[in-house]
Amino acid sequence: MMNIAVMGYGTVGSGVVEVLERNRGVISQRADGDIYVKYVLDLRDFPGDAIQERIVHDFEIVVNDPEIGIVVETMGGIEPAYTFVKRSLLAGKNVVTSNKALVAKHGAELLAIAAEKHINFLFEASVGGGIPILRPLQTSLTADVVEEIGGILNGTTNYMLTKMFYEGADYDEVLKEAQAKGYAERNPEADVEGYDTCRKIAILCSLVLGKQVDFEDIFTEGITKISKEDMMYAKEAGMTIKLLASAKRNGDKMCAMVSPVLMKKTHPLYSVNDVFNAIFVRGNMLGDAMFYGSGAGKLPTASAVVADVIEAAKHPSDSMMGMWTAEKALLQPVDGVSRQFFVRMRGDADEKKAALEAAFGEICVLRASGLTGEFGIITGKMTEGTYKKQAETFPEIIQMIRVED
């Protein structure tokens, strides 16, 4: 039997206890023995909950109990999660976490401790919720050089953009609806500003490069400025708008960014709707692959956490994950990346066409029915740096959204 402690009895933590309970039979079989939640660490009490008798308020009880072989961290945030996780690893306990902020910031250090101690630090649930992606990257896509990785990594914003696409609703409306449904927090910043997505792509990049990718270095733009008018133009062009995380290799560097993009119907991520997530990987031998599923939610996320617990229980004295070092990875600045741009501007397209073509190459003019006094264009392919320089000469520009190939 493996005794574990769950730190944090919120949505994911209580999901972990529920999954372990409901699928007890198959889990015991696959983990080569029962998994027993000996402690749940939380500041709160949960009177009436079956877990109450196992609630502890003091981390020292967890870390000092030699019977605890695996610690599950589902508290979120950097502190005290970081201190508790580090001390657990140093005490020789396997750690499983769903905490993307912690992994993005301290992953290299915590993986190094786990490797030195020959134990596991596992974090499948930190990217893509229930979608298996980190272990497949580490154990199945090993024959490939990953040329590109990314996708739709945030369910809240994908839900909002899907609503805007299908219902023609505006940003503020769909945000309220997402909050009412519990998909968005009262303070939605982490989701809508792209911060959550940014941490997830930082983790994916760090694993792919084997070096630390600091999330602060990743160009990140959220969806707060996306309007129903933008979506009208996108539809007009047979496209949609998605919040895309993308990292493309260029030699030993990667160019990583998070931003809303216009996406064509033929793109494999086009039909990833609502709160679903999808992670796209291009290998130099494999070609394109995509992993799709529930990127968030209590039980899907808990399912990924428990799968990590089972791996740790089966291999308690082995580091099953590859690692990345603390050495800083080189990122390519986004200004050097070539692509097309969708641009909305005030005025009359026919009048400006010659000037626009001189600045942006072969352009395609878009009009959205009902919108007067403005028009849209899709530029030719050009670097972001060149685009910015040219765009300065057009003060009538009111919006720019990148176009994904």
Judged by CB under 8 A, which of 55, 63, 112, 289 binds a second copy? 289
Question: Would you say 27 or 202 has its CB closer to a second copy?
Answer: 27
- Report d(CA 328, CA 83) in Å as an integer: 23
Question: Would you say 204 or 368 has its CB closer to a second copy?
Answer: 204
* Beta carbons of 272 and 162 less than 8 angstroms apart: no
297 binds a second copy (CB under 8 A): yes
Piece in contact with a second copy (CB under 8 A), picked from 225-233, 245-253, 290-298, 341-349: 290-298
Question: Would you say 270 or 394 has its CB closer to a second copy?
Answer: 270
- Report d(CA 43, CA 58) in Å as an integer: 8
The single-letter code of the amino acid at 210 is: G
Q: Taking the CB of residue 227, how many other CB atoms lie within 10 A of it?
A: 16
Piece in contact with a second copy (CB under 8 A), picked from 27-35, 188-196, 338-346, 352-360: 27-35
For a second copy (CB under 8 A), the number of binding residues is 48
Judged by CB under 8 A, which of 42, 124, 196, 384 binds a second copy? 124
* Beta carbons of 274 and 142 less than 8 angstroms apart: no
Q: How far is the CB of 6 from a second copy (least distance, A)?
A: 14
Q: How far is the CB of 273 from a second copy (least distance, A)?
A: 9
250 binds a second copy (CB under 8 A): no
182 binds a second copy (CB under 8 A): no
Q: How far is the CB of 357 from a second copy (least distance, A)?
A: 34
Question: Would you say 204 or 257 has its CB closer to a second copy?
Answer: 204
215 DSSP 8-state letter: G
291 binds a second copy (CB under 8 A): yes
* Beta carbons of 283 and 94 less than 8 angstroms apart: no
Beta partners for residue 287, in sequence order: 283
- With a CB cutoff of 8 Å and minimum separation 6, the contacts of 69 are 2, 3, 4, 93, 94, 312, 313, 316
Spot the catalytic one: 200, 211, 242, 298.
Answer: 200
> 200 catalytic, yes or no?
yes
Beta partners for residue 278, in sequence order: 152, 292
Closest CA to 401 of 192, 224, 182, 148: 224
H or E element: which one contains 70?
Answer: strand 68-73
86 binds a second copy (CB under 8 A): no
Closest CA to 203 of 121, 116, 274, 303: 121
- With a CB cutoff of 8 Å and minimum separation 6, the contacts of 286 are 141, 143, 144
145 binds a second copy (CB under 8 A): yes
194 binds a second copy (CB under 8 A): no
The set of catalytic residues is: 200
Interacting residues toward a second copy by CB under 8 A: 19, 22-23, 26-27, 30-31, 124, 130-132, 135-136, 139-145, 268, 270-271, 283-294, 297, 299-300, 302-307, 309-311, 322
